Each structure stands twice: as C-alpha cells, then as structure tokens.
C-alpha cells in the first residue's frame, strides 16, 4: 500500500519545509498519478521500496484568521479525512499555542493515526522541547528539524512501518 501522509499544522510551523524534504527523491518528479502531481500541494517520496504520497495542507489555507474563531480550512479537513497518516507539526521554539489545541482536538476526533512532530528542535534538548506538547493528547511528541533534517527519517520510518 502506498500511504498518503498529510502534513497539518498552523502557519509557519514548517509544513512546506518538511514537505520539500520528504519529496526530494527522484520519485517526486515522476508523474505516475497525473491528477495529483499536477497539484503542487502533492508530492511523491520513497524510502527503499516503500513509496508514499505527501500532502502539504498549508497550501490550502486561505486568509489566516489569527483570532479565536480560527478553523481549519475545508480543504485541509478533507485532506485530513482522506489521508492514511497525519503528521501534526508544532513549533518547538514558539511552544504550544491555542491554535495547536484546536487542531489537536479536531485530529483526535478523526480515525487516522496522528504523529505529533515538534519542529525546529535543532540544537534543543529533546525531552525539554517535547514536554509541553504531551497535553495535546496525541501520544509521544517526536522532536524534528525539517530544515536540518534531524529526526525526519526516524519519523518517516515509524509512519511507513504501519503500512
């Protein structure tokens, strides 16, 4: 099975940076699913003989409302519901925000497995940077650095093991 992995999170947490890293393989350029690859929010990746599809849901975000009424865009919700796995990205430098909690609440209602990735963790203590995110109720947070590549392969392997 070729899983679809949706990258979810509020703006600026590093979704697109992670997307680029996950789709860097040559396979990212192969248009074996024309309907999807024409859409720039979708990309292909592969680890060994395990291919996957990545969705950068941030590309779906319209104008971002920073207020309390923030909701995930309709298309984001659709991508989440259609995905096989979800990577919920939070920002380890900013720390936990109300938006993170809203998104977490929505993701906990879904049936898809969620991996909680604490991004921008390069140079930080893993236990310290992840600790405040346990309260999101999505299991053990994984420290990563999308821009430096740290923890990304481990996270990806954990996800792909399930499919």
Binding site residues for GTP, as ranges? 9-16, 56-60, 119-122
Q: Quote the CA–CA distance of 157 and 29 in Å, as a whole number.
A: 21
Q: Which stretch binds ligand GDP (CB under 6 A): 4-12, 31-39, 42-50, 75-83?
A: 4-12
Q: Does 99 sit near ligand GDP (CB under 6 A)?
A: no
Task: Check if the beta carbon of residue 9 is closer than 8 Å to that of residue 90.
Answer: yes
Report the nearest approach of ligand GDP to the CB of residue 68 (Å): 20
**Which helix (DSSP H) or strand (DSSP E) does residue 161 occupy?**
none
Q: Which helix (H) or strand (E) holds 115?
A: strand 114-119
Contact 49, 158 (CB under 8 A): no
> Which segment (30-38, 75-83, 96-104, 144-152) binds ligand GDP by CB under 6 A?
144-152
145 near ligand GDP, rule: CB under 6 A: yes
Which of 161, 156, 4, 8 lies closest to 82, judged by CA?
A: 4
Binding part of the chain for ligand GDP, among 37-45, 66-74, 107-115, 143-151 by CB under 6 A, reads 143-151
Is residue 17 a contact point for ligand GDP (CB under 6 A)? yes
Q: Does 13 bind ligand GDP (CB under 6 A)?
A: yes
Site mask for ligand GDP (CB under 6 A), range 102-141, x = bound: -----------------xx-x-------------------
**Cβ closest to ligand GDP, residue 34 vs residue 40:** 40
* Residue 71 CB coordination number (10 Å): 11
Q: If you count DSSP H runs as helices and E runs as strands, how many of each does the chain have, helices first? A: 6, 6
Give the phi and the psi of residue 138 in degrees, each rounded to 5.
-120, 25
Of residues 29-88, those binding Mg ion (CB under 5 A): 58
Tell me how far apart the alpha carbons of residues 151 and 63 are, in angstroms, rounded to a whole number: 31
What is the contact surface with ligand GDP in residues (CB under 6 A)? Answer: 9, 11-17, 58, 119-120, 122, 145-148
């Amino acid at each position: 099975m070729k899983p679809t992995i949706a990258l979810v999170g509020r703006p600026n947490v590093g979704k697109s940076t992670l997307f680029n890293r996950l789709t860097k393989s040559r396979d990212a350029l192969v248009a074996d699913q024309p309907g999807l690859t024409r859409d720039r929010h979708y990309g292909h990746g592969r680890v060994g003989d395990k291919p996957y599809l990545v969705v950068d849901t941030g590309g779906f975000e319209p104008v971002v409302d920073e207020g309390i009424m923030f909701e995930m865009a309709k298309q984001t919700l659709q991508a989440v519901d259609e995905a096989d796995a979800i990577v919920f990205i939070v920002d380890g430098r900013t720390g936990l925000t109300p938006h993170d909690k809203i998104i977490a609440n929505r993701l906990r209602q879904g049936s898809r497995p969620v991996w909680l990735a604490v991004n921008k963790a390069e140079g930080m203590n893993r236990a310290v940077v992840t600790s405040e995110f346990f309260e999101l109720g999505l299991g053990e947070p994984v420290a990563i650095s999308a821009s430096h590549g740290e923890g990304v392969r481990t996270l990806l392997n954990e996800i792909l093991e399930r499919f």
